[in-house]
Amino acid sequence: MKILITGGAGFIGSHLAERLLSDGHEVYAIDNLSTGRLENIESFRSNPKFHFFTGSILDLKLMDELVSKCKQVYHLAAAVGVKYIIENPLLSLKTNIVGTDNVLELCNKYKAKALITSTSEIYGKSEKVPFSEHDDRLLGSTHISRWGYSCSKALDEFLALAFYREKKLPVVIVRCFNTVGPRQTGQYGMVLPKFIKAALLDQPIVVYGSGKQTRCFADVSDVVDAFIKLMDNPECEGEIFNVGTTEAISIEDLAVKVKNMCGSKSKIEYMSYEAAFEEGFEDMMNRMPNLDKIHQFIGYEPKYTLDDIIKRMIEYYEN
């Protein structure tokens, strides 16, 4: 099958491309390389079944050409990382909203099935943990940049569901919770690769806020496997699924774990959110997905523990 991945040189996109190629598919990928990297696709770029295009999902002519060739589209291209979103608020909103509208319009035009990647940021600062797909959302003021990202991804979901209901376009929506693994960069605020790189270099491991906030980290291989199974199951069309793991850890405990597993001499330091991001920055204290629905539909069970993930990432960065 011919399949298009938007954001195909990104962290998740490159792993998805590699997996789809190994499954025998012909893969087209587009990435504007704002956060994606050519080195992510270097190991399989010469594969005759892989076709890479440097460009934007806002380029309708190029997108039309690519979608017209494909039966499925995995739409991963988006503004990613809290730091990037705060520094580029206008481009982030346009990429997420206009870009997704382009993808859905073209999928509808060429009758291609679409997977739309959303985010745990959808749930905002709700304290009802674990988060279920039908839960209400609780957001902060429009003066705080990070909530614009949550709203833009919510609009993506509304658009996808509208195309499904009105146009009968087969779409699947996934809400990712802290996907991590090899190839991920800490450059845009991703906490685990940032901690590991600092620990390996014996540099300070910097924890934002109190460090008491908890997160659940899912391995990219588990997430990619879930994407493919969701796309291959017709019963998943028109549905929203959390994808992640329920193994929770506080950020300060994560810093200690990473330091110990790296055998590092790093000091653990704390920094306020305001100093790290922007005045008035708000964070969620706890973020955990309810995975009952995705388990019911595709039997999803994460294979990798947090220790497994950290070991894999340490080996990757050491090499």
Residue by residue, DSSP assigns 126-185 as ---SSB-TT---B---TTSTHHHHHHHHHHHHHHHHHHHHHH---EEEEEE--EE-TT--
Whether the per-residue pLDDT at 93 is higher than 90: the answer is no
Instruction: Determine which of 124-133, 233-242, 243-252 has the lowest per-residue pLDDT on average.
Output: 124-133
CA distance 260 to 146: 32
- 89 in a structural domain: yes
Q: Taking a C-beta distance cutoff of 8 angstroms, is the pair 198, 206 a contact?
A: yes
Instruction: State the pLDDT at residue 189.
Output: 59
What per-residue confidence (pLDDT) applies to 120? 94
Q: Round the average pLDDT of the chain to a whole number and report it.
A: 93
Torsion of CA 228, 115, 150, 178, to 10 degrees: 10
- Whether 205 and 269 have beta carbons less than 8 Å apart is answered as yes
| Structural domain for 175, as ranges | 2-179+219-245+287-302
Range with the poorest average pLDDT among 78-87, 188-197, 242-251, 264-273 = 78-87
In whole angstroms, how far apart are CA 90 and each of 79, 96, 252?
10, 10, 32
Has residue 6 got a pLDDT over 70? Answer: yes
Total residues belonging to the chain: 319
Q: Please, which residues have CB within 8 angstroms of residue 23's CB and are 6 or more apart in sequence?
A: 228
As for how many domains the chain has, the answer is 1
Which pLDDT tens digit goes with each residue over 139-194?
988 888 778 889 999 999 999 999 999 999 999 999 999 999 999 987 655 899 99
Task: Report pLDDT for 173.
Answer: 98
**Which positions are catalytic?**
149
pLDDT over 70 percentage in the chain: 97
For residue 43, count CB atoms less than 10 angstroms from its CB and return exposed for 0-12, middle for 13-18, buried for 19 or more. exposed
Domain containing residue 160: CATH number: 3.40.50.720
Q: Which residue has the tokens 């009968």?
A: 168
Please tell me the predicted confidence (pLDDT) of residue 232: 97
pLDDT digits 0-9 by tens, 199-214: 999 999 999 989 999 9
C-alpha 265/C-alpha 56 separation (Å) is 42
Is 165 within the bounds of a domain? yes
* DSSP conformation class of 267: P
Q: What is the pLDDT of residue 188?
A: 59
Residue 300 has what pLDDT?
98
Q: What is the pLDDT of residues 271-304, one digit of tens each?
A: 987 777 766 677 788 999 999 999 999 999 999 9
At residue 278, the pLDDT reads 67
Helix (H) or strand (E) holding 268: strand 268-271
Question: What pLDDT sits at residue 92?
Answer: 83
- Res 88: pLDDT: 80
- Inside any domain, residue 280: no
Instruction: Please check whether residue 265 lies inside any domain of the structure.
Output: no
Domain membership of residue 250 (yes or no) is no
At residue 79, the pLDDT reads 76
Is 113 part of any domain? yes
Question: Is residue 115 a part of any domain in this protein?
Answer: yes
Give domain status of residue 102, yes or no. Answer: yes
